A and B are shown apart, each in its own frame.
Chain A
Amino acid sequence: MLKKGLFGMVLSVALVAMFFVPAYAAPEPYLVGAAISITGPGSEPLAPIKDALDIYFKDVNAKGGINGHPVKLLIEDTMNEPSRAATQARQLVTQNKVSLLILAGLSSLYAPVVQVAEQYNVPLLFLGVCPPETYPPKADPNQFCSTAFGMKFDSSFAVPFIHEQSKGSSLKLALEAMNVPLSRNEIDWAEQLAKSMGIEVVDKEVTPPPTADFTPFATKMKSSGATWAYSYGPWGMEVRTFEALRKLGWKGKYLAYGHIQAEDELKRLKDDDFYVYGTNAFFTDNTQAHQRIKAMSEKEKTVYPYTQLTDGWIGATVIEEVLKKVPWPATPDKVRESMNQVKVDTQGLKGGPIVWTKTNHYRTTGYYRAYKWDSKKNAVVIAKDWTAIEVK
């Protein structure tokens, strides 16, 4: 009888352990859904974001997660196809019940994914280009952005920079964009800005997305007598036009938006008159955050080189800060509430913190820096240090 009772007790304890203990051992995760363009045309600046998110949250989870809960990333490859991105976003929200949706894709993906986020009232974080809907004074309650590109703000740094660098010498500016809305609108804005500053704009080229040879465009830019050229578009277009200009013997100076490839490309090109600007610090700064990215990338053997992981890493830092302030259980409403008042220390990866308010989901201050190659030092150097641009 006693034996039977003992056996029953042991069995009961075993059953309790089987069904209940694991629930305590593995706390429920924060669910974050991400639609990222890992493959497909134009995915080269976006695909590394997956790598950065993966290694960042692997580390976070290894250290106990956030508020005792791990972060579970559900990543889908949009292949830069709008319909696919919309389907994936819907699935992440309705089936996986994510509290936060991330989109890193071309601007053509924005409308369908925004529609899903609005329909199900889930906050949407952009890790590609920041849409104007995140800007003040009327930021969309559901849309947030932590990455680099910002229409109208980027050229507000670039054009005055060119003006300053020309130092009173003859300045004739050629502009170049790709025939996609974001790039074309920014160059139109740059033209307007340059003219308002008294800069002579001698040429403006808008190249088609599939361009076999940039030499015909470069020929026109060169023959316009430009002393400076400013290019804003995908990195392939920016750098190929620059190389075509140099092949034609153009001796002017060139400023391009510094995408994730920029640091490695400055080292490859080794041209003293090729400038890039952007909102992220290069690895030449070698801050603790840079060292951590490099170490994690090497440890986890990321697909993309560590020099391309900064944007994704900053996005992950923002997500961590947001989730820290989300009381359990996490819901889209609580996440959005947290996102409406966040201040993220970017640990030297940017010129200052990313601050979001209820009316500003972009950042209250943008920090820009320009870099170039210096042959004498045989290194990438800062051409102009952090310049703050108020976002109003």
Chain B
Amino acid sequence: MQIIVNTVVLASLYSLIGCGFVLIYRASRVVNLAQGELMAMGGYFLFTVAMGLFKEPIPSFLVASVFSVGLGFIIYFFLMRFMAGESVFAAILSTIALGILLRGLITLIWTSQLWHPLEKMGITNASHTLVKDAVISTFGIVTVLSAFFIYLALFLCLKFTRWGLRMQAVGENPLLASRRGIKLHNYYALSWGVAAFTGGFAGMIQSCDAILEPGMVAIGLKTFPVVLVGGLDSLAGVIPGAFVVAIAEVIAINYISPQASEAAPFVVLLIMLLIRPWGLFGTKEELERV
């Protein structure tokens, strides 16, 4: 039972991080390789807010979320905006440069030390027993619930709100959308804002459930196989992709070798690329575009 709980928590974390990859890709066809850094920035925002502004967890999370969204907008308007019309390759390279810049900023501002935002907020990460001795931490529950509600909210917004429909239109046919009066840059920026929020929120939870350190950015890159397995342009594909990768990792740890868990996501990815290169829920044409 504990193995199932572990898998669900891990898959939820991957879903939260992976969500950002898909949102940006769907809107602007850019693969954001700085998603791990956006995730880490969320954790550092929370730490900074908890240190200086609020000690209580809820206001701290809210303010840090606002900072994360703001960072997404800033990145778009001051960097990615200038990549509009350039080749996809150039845009991807600029996200790599962005990642290096953010990593540098993290070390300059917060140093290489390990931090514990939870301590600053004065709360503990208690354990809760579920059925049959299966245990989950408070922030494990927060991870699962956040993934559930964020995906639900995104689904509803993309399907039933004006900005959601426009965002989809911008992703599918930017030229037509532009002719219909939709301001493309605003919707691209929105996708960066939401992606920075979901990634950042995952970073906030991770820093509370574990530790806050610059090395956290590597988890973002580890999530990349998740979105490729699910389908790079499919938000709904991230969840099954996350589960497939998490199951592969947990099976490797328990039944093959703990060391194999490092390779497991990439083995799954390779198999997927051989069988269905566009992913579980991705569209075939997208492959040609990439």
1/0 contact string of A236-257 vs chain B (CB within 8 Å)? 1001100100111100000000
Whether A390 is near chain B, meaning CB under 8 Å from some CB there, is no
Which residues 198-233 of A have a CB within 8 angstroms of B? 205-210, 212-217, 219-220, 223
Encoded as 1 (CB less than 8 Å from any A CB) or 0, chain B from 94 to 130 comes to 0000000001100110011110100100000101010
**In this assembly, does A268 line the interface, its C-beta being within 8 Å of a C-beta of chain B?**
yes
Q: Which of A41-49, A283-291, A336-344 contacts B (4 or more CB under 8 A)?
A: A41-49
Of B104, B113, B222, B257, most A-chain CB atoms within 10 Å: B113
Task: Determine whether A356 belongs to the interface, using a CB cutoff of 8 Å to chain B.
Answer: no
Residues of A within 8 A of B135 (CB): 247-249
- The answer to the question of B281 belonging to the interface, with a C-beta cut-off of 8 Å to chain A, is no
Contact of A268 among B2, B104, B116, B129 (CB under 8 A): B116
**B118: min CB distance to chain A, Å:** 10
Q: Is A261 an interface residue (CB 8 A)?
A: yes
- Encode B238-281 as 1/0 by CB contact (under 8 A) with A: 00000000000110011001110110000000000000000000
Is B9 an interface residue, CB under 8 A from the partner? yes
| Beta-carbon contact of A179 and B114 below 8 Å | no
Chain A residues with CB under 8 A of B2? 219, 223, 248
Residue A304 is within 8 A (CB to CB) of chain B in the complex: yes
Max chain B C-beta neighbours (<10 A), residue from A39, A240, A304: A39
* Residues in B whose Cβ lies below 8 Å from that of A17: none
Name which residue of chain A comes closest to B220, CB basis.
Answer: A210
Query: How distant is the Cα of A11 from the Cα of B125 in the complex, in angstroms?
Result: 77
User: Which B residues are CB-close (under 8 A) to A46?
Assistant: 112
> With A213-B210, A215-B6, A268-B116 known to touch, is A247 a contact of B137 (CB < 8 Å)?
yes
Q: Judge if A57 is at the interface, Cβ distance under 8 Å.
A: no
How far is B258's CA from A220's CA once the two chains are assembled, in angstroms? Answer: 10
The residue that A216 contacts in the complex, of B114, B206, B219, B253, with Cβ under 8 A, is B253
Q: Most chain-B CB neighbours within 10 Å: which of A39, A215, A239? A: A215
Q: Contact between B254 and A216 (Cβ–Cβ < 8 Å)? A: yes
Chain B contact residues, majority secondary structure = helix
- Quick check: B210 and A42 within 8 Å, CB to CB? no
Residues on A with beta carbons closer than 8 Å to the beta carbon of B112: 38-39, 43-44, 46-47
- Determine if A39 and B107 form an interchain contact, defined as CB atoms under 8 angstroms apart: yes
Q: How far is the CA of A243 from the CA of B108 in the complex (A)?
A: 28
Q: Which residue of A lies closest to B212 (CB)?
A: A236
B177 within 8 A of A: no
Known: A216-B249, A216-B253, A261-B114. A210 touches B119 (CB 8 A): no
If A44-B112, A179-B259 touch, whether A213 touches B13 (CB-CB below 8 Å) is yes
Q: Are B114 and A236 in contact (CB under 8 A)?
A: yes
Provide the bound-state CA to CA distance between A85 and B13, in Å. Answer: 35
Interface presence of B228 (CB below 8 A)? no
Q: Which chain A residue has the least Cβ–Cβ distance from B202? A: A212
Contact at B127–A247, with CB atoms within 8 Å? Answer: yes
B200 at interface, CB cutoff 8 A? no
A197: chain B residues at CB < 8 Å are: none
Q: Which residue of A lies closest to B113 (CB)?
A: A44
Q: Are B210 and A214 in contact (CB under 8 A)?
A: yes
Cβ-based interface call for B158 (8 A): no
- A101 → chain B closest CB, angstroms: 22
Give the residue among B116, B218, B258 with the most A Cβ atoms within 10 A: B258
Task: Count chain A residues whose beta carbon lies closer than 8 angstroms to a beta carbon of B.
Answer: 39
- Contacts A41-B215, A216-B3 given; indicate if A235 touches B114 (C-beta within 8 A): yes
Q: Are B113 and A304 in contact (CB under 8 A)?
A: yes
Q: Which residues of B contact A41 (CB under 8 A)?
A: 214-215, 218
Which residue in chain B gives the minimum CB-CB distance to A265? B114
Given the known interface contacts A39-B107, A304-B113, the answer about A210 and B258 at a Cβ–Cβ threshold of 8 Å is no
CA distance A43 to B140 in the complex (A): 28
B253 touches A213 (CB 8 A): no
- Chain B residues with CB under 8 Å of A10's CB are none
| Chain A: minimal CB distance from B106 (Å) | 9
The answer for the CA separation of A217 and B103 in the assembled complex, in Å, is 28
Is B14 at the interface (CB under 8 A from chain A)?
Answer: yes
Q: Which of B9, B119, B215, B259 contacts A213 (CB 8 A)?
A: B9
CA distance A38 to B112 in the complex (A): 8
* Residue contact A240 to B210, C-beta cutoff 8 Å: yes
Query: B119, A207: Cβ atoms under 8 Å?
Result: no
Most A CB atoms within 10 A — which of B104, B215, B249?
B215
Query: In the complex, which residues of chain A have a beta carbon less than 8 angstroms from the beta carbon of B206?
Result: 212
- Which chain B residue has the least Cβ–Cβ distance from A239? B211
A248 to B261, CA, bound (A): 20
Say yes or no for B10: interface residue by CB 8 A criterion: yes
B221 on the A face (CB < 8 A): yes
Contact B215 A216 (CB under 8 A): no
Give every chain B residue within 8 A of A223 (Cβ-Cβ).
2
* Interface status of B37 (Cβ within 8 A of chain A): no
A-contact bits for B192-228, CB 8 A (1 contact / 0 none): 0000000000000010011101110011011000000
Extra contacts besides A47-B112, A240-B211 (6): CB < 8 Å: A39-B214, A207-B261, A212-B13, A217-B253, A239-B211, A249-B133
Q: List 16 A-B contacts (CB under 8 A).
A: A44-B213, A44-B214, A47-B111, A47-B112, A206-B258, A209-B262, A212-B13, A212-B14, A213-B9, A213-B10, A216-B254, A220-B258, A235-B114, A247-B137, A249-B135, A268-B116
User: Across chains A and B, which 10 residue pairs bring their CB atoms closest together, nearest first?
Assistant: A210-B218, A208-B262, A39-B107, A44-B112, A43-B112, A47-B112, A212-B219, A216-B6, A205-B258, A247-B127
Query: Which residues of B are at the interface with A, using a C-beta cutoff of 8 A?
Result: 2-3, 6, 9-10, 13-14, 103-104, 107-108, 111-114, 116, 119, 125, 127, 129, 133, 135, 137, 140, 206, 209-211, 213-215, 218-219, 221-222, 249-250, 253-254, 257-259, 261-262
